[in-house]
Amino acid sequence: MPEIPKTYEPQAIEEKWYAEWLEKGFFTANPHSTKEPYSIVIPPPNVTGVLTLGHVLNNTIQDILARRARMLGREVLWLPGTDHAGIATQNVVEKSLRKAGTMKHRDDLGREKLVEKIWEWKEEYGGKILKQLRALGASCDWSRTRFTMDPEYSVCVQRVFVDLYKKGLIYRGKRMVNWCPVALTALSDEEVIMKPTNGFLTYFKVEVVESPGTFLTIATTRPETIPGDTAIAVNPNDPRYAHLIGKHVRRPLPLENQAAIPIVAEESIDIAFGTGVLKVTPAHDKADFEIGQRHQLESIEVIDPRGVMDALAGGDLEGLDRFEARKKVVEMLGEMGSLEKEDPYQNNVGYSERADVVVEPRLSEQWFLKYPSVEQARRCVEQPEIRQTEERVPDGKPLGAHSLAGKLGLQPAPSTQVSLTDLLSNVNEKECKMHFYPVRWAKVYDHWLGGLQDWCISRQLWWGHRIPVWYHQETGEVYCGLEAPGDGSDAVNKSQESPWKQDPDVLDTWFSSWLWPFATMGWPEKTPELAKFYPTTDLVTGPDIIFFWVARMIMAGYEWMGEMPFKNVYFTGIIRDKQGRKMSKSLGNSPDPLDIIAQYGADALRFGVMRSAPLGADILFDEKNVELGRNFCTKLWNAARFRQMYEGAGSEIEGEINPTLLTSDDRWILLRLDVAIREVSTALDEYRFSDAANALYRFFWSEYCDWYLEASKAALGRVPLPTEVPMSAAEVAAAYPLRANTLAVIDFILAHTLRLFHPFLPFITEELWESLGFRDDLPARQGGDTIMFAHWPKPFEEDFKQHYGLTSEAEKAANAKYDTVLAGRNLRSTYNIPSNKRVRFVLQPTGDLLPHDAEVLKILLNAEALDIAADYAAPQGTPTNLTPLGHLYLPLEGLIDLDAERERLSKEIAKVTDELAKVRAKLANPGFAEKVPAAVFDEHRQRERNWQEKLGQLQKLLANLS
RNA sequence: GCGCGGUUAGCUCAGUGGUAGAGCACUACACUGACACUGUAGGGGUCGACAGUUCAAACCUGUCACCGCGCACCA
């Protein structure tokens, strides 16, 4: 097997393994496999996208899930792809074409040409992000890469449109829509972001036509729309104005047409706001439009699609931008003497999500969709109340598993915490539930579904799925279908232009994205992929697209597949910089993940990000975390090198461990491994990735390296072996059985930890899996050719533990030893013994001590010698600490600083006295003894005795000093 | 206005009733034969405030304050 180089150089290793994985087809899903399926569809990034830290977070999580699923023996499909992202992509390409001088305006090229150019751009530059994902180690099945405008995918989109049209859920209508004056298209409500915006509340007065000399004052934030006003509205219950209803006022603008407009009654008017008088502009305000409908008011459009005032706004305003016009109108009102005042005012204004400009409500002809399968979508997501594991009953005691199990007629497993979720999973109702992580998003989801407005699905763009509707130019007939309709005459007459013209609009990008989980798998055919992998298992995405995408996918899933599209949805947090600010290009706080990978390695980035990504919280990205990941990889690397210094690496695993030769250190680390396996598995089952990463970090670094490897040096002895003649591994094993057994334990630990780490650190674990020889003796697809399919470690069985003596006594024995070490090291530093000075310790043992354990103590204490002397008579003032194994002395032969020792002891006594007082106060509390559970009571009594004993000894020591 | 999340060490965060924890940062010592991308030891917190429940509260209940987010919206 290859020797492990001194330093870990991730770049070469990562490239090598990724190429190998691809070549061997390890990522390719087999829909005909008999293995249980696991599937996940990537949230398709924009085809124009480049990798950001947000993607790193999201896709690392998906990769961890996919890799672990493979190790659990599942047939894994992780399906990648990109989204055509209508507005964004058209913008990007138009910009580059303008820059290249190919065109000034899209009309220069025309629709067909521009779309062609966008396709060209897509083929050449699009999907860059997917290549970047490979650098991260993403184990996607690239053979199944999809694009939302693939021909087959487009057919799905059209089919769905036609289907909904036939079901009567799609209609066309002239409605108030959110209009983006930059993108020149309608937007859905979800694409409008409300932002508090500073402006003015302008007060101006108008004269009542029927009562000259009577004026009404109106407060408005949008004076530029005055020329479009066709009424004034007041609340009929407002005594100030009720008598004026039915009369008219003179509209001040445009000057050319100061029409008399009616005063109408509207219950919805807030009497307390402004002056209680509302100007009504049906053409440029959603609420005003509705008032207009109720009172059959005229609609006067005074702002054109670009946000520029038109002719109807009057000669003074025509051609002005709407915001310039706003200033101009105020000026004009002032000149007329109509302006009363302008108050600074902050209100919420809608902005276009993409272009970040103020959206203009505008009346226009659009296609709308009444959402399908809403009730199913709403019912299928598990709500937080159900997830609650404890319900309180009046006496304050948790309603535990037993009573609940009783209700459900189930027997809980003894001594294990049974959650309500587990119990309910046995109940039918529960079977069909989809789980959100964190569950609180389910409430947000439900709330949105409860107040759905029809979805405006048409966009006035060129890049996207064309609406499959044709209008007959002569008859006005409307046709909706997959193919353009024939004109009824014979097709021979090809040169003649068809009288059918297709609707020029394209569909909202999300109208294709919502089909992603099944359109990517070949729907509407009954493909093996759909049969095997739908519904998908997990979806990993950001909560910001819960309405845009997640909710709509769920509805689409029910509507066309009759089933939920995924079983679990994991919502990541948002990646922020270390000051908590959002990553943004303008702030320059958004590092390029590829730079980070080049500097630290992909594994380091993955581990660093995952370690700081708790479920449901935002992630503050700090390069320090990546550094920590890199350091950890180095640690792993060196721990493997340590193993390789000794003979026979990799050739003896599991079965080779001889239980009779196990030391307490061996038993201890095996027990810690068992705990780590359980913790990591449970954490991953519950999508607590940072907990899993932390548990692994702690186990490998703090337990395995810091304690076990150091202790193992006692059993391993020196390298090279103290023999002249070279020996084979088997001969060494025969000659040094303890050493061989320790190496077997090390191999066992490494073989398990590499597998536990693989989902997080795919590259370095694969490299070491090979270097340490763990491939040998394993069947090809179970770790023999790659760690990717090695079995995920299982917690130890009881009989395994019994066989190897993995008992709590063994653990206690090791812990006693380690506590003794800590006490000794503490003595060293208290007396300022330099770390490299080897000193002599004396232990006055309270019980038996194995020679091997004494050797371990000596090594861990970095002692020159450790004397075991039951009858040791310590010279006066010899520094000592009470340890679980007895008194440990640090004889310093006359070098003792009595004052320092006195001070140390006094400090210690103060601490112990304090603790003793605390526990005594509790015990003295009336009611404590009666009400507290026996175990807790005993534990407190024991604690009291321990502190008491320790205090006595400390006091004795202090007394000996004087 | 309604809803959700948060407030624990200098920083980022674990911790769902019984002796306050981790990582980073900081201090001291040491380049000891896997590792200075390291090791060892150490300092540092009245757990946002107030009140309540309890033998016992960081944890449960209530009120408030501040921070963040979502939804709705009155011009």
Annotate A171-204 with DSSP letters as a single string: EEEEEEEEEETTTTEEE-GGGEEEEEEEEEEEEE
Percent with pLDDT over 90 in chain A: 55
Question: Stated in angstroms, how far is A598 CA from B31 C1'?
Answer: 28
Q: Are strands A81-82 and A469-472 parallel, antiparallel or unpaired?
A: unpaired
Tokens 């910001």 identify what position? Answer: A544
Q: Residue A175 — pLDDT band, cuts 50, 70, 90?
A: confident
A50 CB contact with strand B at below 7 Å? no
A347-391, pLDDT tens digit by residue? 888 998 888 899 999 989 999 999 999 999 998 998 876 444 333
Cis previous bond, A535, omega within 30: yes
The per-residue pLDDT for A495 is: 61
Winning range, highest mean pLDDT, from A654-658, A672-676, A876-880, A917-921? A672-676
How far is Cα A138 from Cα A131, in angstroms, rounded to an integer?
10
Q: Residue A1 — pLDDT band, cuts 50, 70, 90?
A: low
The per-residue pLDDT for A934 is: 85
Compute the average pLDDT of residues A828-845.
87
Compute the average pLDDT of residues A892-908.
72
A718 CB contact with strand B at below 7 Å? yes
Q: Which residues pair with A27 in a beta bridge?
A: none
The whole-model pTM stands at 0.89
Radius of gyration of chain A (CA): 37
The per-residue pLDDT for A118 is: 93
Give the bases of strand B that a protein CB approaches within 7 Å.
Answer: 3-5, 11-14, 16-19, 22-25, 28-35, 37-42, 53-57, 60, 70-75
A34 CB contact with strand B at below 7 Å? no
Tokens 């004795």 identify what position? Answer: A956
Judge whether residue A308 has pLDDT over 60: yes
| Cβ atoms of A917 and A948 closer than 8 Å | no
Give the DSSP H/E element, type plus range, for residue A764: helix A762-771
The DSSP secondary-structure symbol of A413 reads P
Q: How far is CA A19 from CA A25, A135, A604, A763, in A?
A: 10, 11, 19, 11
- Both structure tokens of A803: 């066989």
A399 CB contact with strand B at below 7 Å? no
Compute the average pLDDT of residues A65-86.
96
Burial readout A576-589 (b: 16 or more C-beta within 10 A, e: otherwise): bbeeeeebeeeeee
A618 CB contact with strand B at below 7 Å? yes
Residues 940-959 of A with CB under 7 A from strand B: 940, 943
Tokens 């079977």 identify what position? Answer: A431
How far is Cα A326 from Cα A333, in angstroms, rounded to an integer?
11
How far is Cα A750 from Cα A854, in angstroms, rounded to an integer?
26
Written as one letter, the residue type at A867 is: D
Give the DSSP H/E element, type plus range, for residue A333: helix A322-336
Q: How far is CA A600 from CA A52, A594, A596, A597, A942, in A?
A: 16, 10, 6, 5, 50
Question: Stated in angstroms, how far is A6 CA from B10 C1'?
Answer: 37
The per-residue pLDDT for A489 is: 58
Q: Which nucleotide is nearest to A927 (CA to C1')?
A: B55
Q: Where are the alpha helices (DSSP H) in A645-736?
A: 664-685, 689-697, 710-716, 729-735
Compute the average pLDDT of residues A286-311.
92
ipTM above 0.85, yes or no: yes
A383-431, pLDDT tens digit by residue? 876 444 333 333 333 333 222 222 232 322 333 333 344 444 444 444 5
How far is Cα A644 from Cα A666, in angstroms, rounded to an integer?
19
How far is Cα A445 from Cα A439, in angstroms, rounded to an integer?
10
Question: Stated in angstroms, how far is A574 CA from B14 C1'?
Answer: 20
A850 CB contact with strand B at below 7 Å? no
Q: Residue A497 — pLDDT band, cuts 50, 70, 90?
A: confident
How far is Cα A203 from Cα A200, in angstroms, rounded to an integer?
9
A444 CB contact with strand B at below 7 Å? yes
A451 CB contact with strand B at below 7 Å? yes
Burial readout A226-255 (b: 16 or more C-beta within 10 A, e: otherwise): bbbbbbbbbbeebeebeebbebbbebbbbe
Q: Which nucleotide is nearest to A943 (CA to C1')?
A: B19
A834 CB contact with strand B at below 7 Å? yes
Exposed/middle/buried for A925, CB within 10 Å: 0-12, 13-18, 19+? exposed
Winning range, highest mean pLDDT, from A95-99, A435-439, A854-858, A915-919? A854-858
Judge whether residue A789 has pLDDT over 80: yes
A634 CB contact with strand B at below 7 Å? yes
Exposed/middle/buried for A724, CB within 10 Å: 0-12, 13-18, 19+? exposed
A219 CB contact with strand B at below 7 Å? yes
A658-695, pLDDT tens digit by residue? 899 999 999 999 999 999 999 999 999 989 999 999 99
A801 CB contact with strand B at below 7 Å? no
Compute the average pLDDT of residues A918-942.
85
- Both structure tokens of A756: 């536990």
Residue with CA nearest C1' of nucleotide B19: A915
Question: Stated in angstroms, how far is A791 CA from B11 C1'?
Answer: 39
The per-residue pLDDT for A127 is: 84
Judge whether residue A86 has pLDDT over 90: no
Q: Are strands A339-352 and A192-207 parallel, antiparallel or unpaired?
A: antiparallel
Judge whether residue A25 has pLDDT over 80: yes
Q: Where are the alpha helices (DSSP H) in A491-535?
A: 510-513, 516-519, 528-533
Q: Cα torsion at A315, A319, A322, A327 (round to 10°)?
A: -60
Residue with CA nearest C1' of nucleotide B24: A624
The per-residue pLDDT for A709 is: 95
A27-43, pLDDT tens digit by residue? 999 999 999 999 999 99
The per-residue pLDDT for A428 is: 45
The DSSP secondary-structure symbol of A4 reads P
The per-residue pLDDT for A386 is: 47
Winning range, highest mean pLDDT, from A478-492, A701-715, A825-839? A701-715
N- to C-terminal Cα separation, chain A: 64
How far is Cα A433 from Cα A567, in angstroms, rounded to an integer?
8
Residue with CA nearest C1' of nucleotide B56: A922
Question: Stated in angstroms, how far is A397 CA from B53 C1'?
Answer: 12
Residue with CA nearest C1' of nucleotide B60: A396
The per-residue pLDDT for A492 is: 53
Question: A547 in helix, strand or coil?
Answer: helix
Q: Residue A100 — pLDDT band, cuts 50, 70, 90?
A: confident
Residues 856-875 of A with CB under 7 A from strand B: 862
The rounded mean pLDDT for chain A is: 86
Question: A20 in helix, strand or coil?
Answer: helix
| Cβ atoms of A521 and A481 closer than 8 Å | no
Give the DSSP H/E element, type plus range, for residue A599: helix A593-600
Judge whether residue A772 has pLDDT over 70: yes
Compute the average pLDDT of residues A643-650.
78
Residues 669-698 of A with CB under 7 A from strand B: 691, 694, 698
Give the number of C-alpha atoms closer than 13 A to the C-alpha of residue A202, restricted to the C-beta side.
Answer: 22
Q: Any long-range contacts for A271-276 (C-beta under 8 Å, 24+ apart)?
A: A271/A235, A271/A237, A271/A238, A273/A219, A274/A201, A274/A203, A274/A218, A274/A219, A274/A220, A275/A203, A275/A216, A275/A217, A275/A218, A275/A219, A276/A234, A276/A235, A276/A238, A276/A240, A276/A241
Q: How far is CA A532 from the centre of its chain?
A: 26
Q: Which nucleotide is nearest to A234 (CA to C1')?
A: B75
Judge whether residue A730 has pLDDT over 90: no
Question: A279 in helix, strand or coil?
Answer: strand
A604-629, pLDDT tens digit by residue? 999 999 988 777 788 888 888 999 99
Q: Residue A954 — pLDDT band, cuts 50, 70, 90?
A: confident
Question: Stated in angstroms, how far is A834 CA from B31 C1'?
Answer: 14
A30 C-beta neighbours (distance < 10 Å), count: 14
The per-residue pLDDT for A645 is: 87
- Sign, CA torsion A144/A147/A148/A152: negative
A222 CB contact with strand B at below 7 Å? yes
Residues 368-397 of A with CB under 7 A from strand B: 389-390, 392, 396
Residue with CA nearest C1' of nucleotide B38: A635
Question: Stated in angstroms, how far is A901 CA from B45 C1'?
Answer: 28
How far is Cα A40 from Cα A62, in angstroms, rounded to an integer?
8
How far is Cα A87 from Cα A459, in angstroms, rounded to an integer?
9
Question: Stated in angstroms, how far is A397 CA from B48 C1'?
Answer: 28
Residues 487-526 of A with CB under 7 A from strand B: none
Q: How far is CA A69 from the centre of its chain?
A: 18
Q: Residue A246 — pLDDT band, cuts 50, 70, 90?
A: very high
Give the DSSP H/E element, type plus range, for residue A595: helix A593-600
Winning range, highest mean pLDDT, from A99-103, A448-452, A720-724, A748-752? A748-752
The per-residue pLDDT for A317 is: 92
How far is Cα A485 from Cα A935, in angstroms, rounded to an integer?
82
Q: Residue A295 — pLDDT band, cuts 50, 70, 90?
A: very high
Compute the average pLDDT of residues A914-921.
84
The per-residue pLDDT for A158 is: 96
Of A236, A234, A264, which Cα lies nearest the Cα of A248? Answer: A264
- Both structure tokens of A254: 């445009």
**Contact residues for A608 (Cβ-Cβ < 8 A; gap 6+):** A600, A625, A626, A627, A628, A629, A630
| Cβ atoms of A860 and A814 closer than 8 Å | no
Compute the average pLDDT of residues A460-481.
92
Give the number of C-alpha atoms closer than 13 A to the C-alpha of residue A947, restricted to the C-beta side.
Answer: 18
Judge whether residue A269 has pLDDT over 80: yes
> Who wins on pLDDT, A723 or A297?
A297
> Who wins on pLDDT, A900 or A304?
A304
The DSSP secondary-structure symbol of A46 reads B
Exposed/middle/buried for A12, CB within 10 Å: 0-12, 13-18, 19+? exposed
| Cβ atoms of A817 and A827 closer than 8 Å | no
Judge whether residue A879 has pLDDT over 90: no
How far is Cα A573 from Cα A58, in angstroms, rounded to an integer?
9
Compute the average pLDDT of residues A215-240.
93
Phi, psi of A740 (to 5 degrees): -60, -40
Of A41, A30, A44, A43, which Cα lies nearest the Cα of A66? Answer: A41
How far is Cα A440 from Cα A240, in angstroms, rounded to an integer?
47
Q: Any long-range contacts for A695-698 (C-beta under 8 Å, 24+ apart)?
A: A696/A753, A696/A756, A696/A757, A696/A760, A697/A611, A697/A632
**Contact residues for A405 (Cβ-Cβ < 8 A; gap 6+):** A411, A412, A418, A423
Q: How far is CA A674 from CA A410, A671, A801, in A?
A: 29, 5, 10
Question: Stated in angstroms, how far is A201 CA from B14 C1'?
Answer: 49
Written as one letter, the residue type at A676 is: A
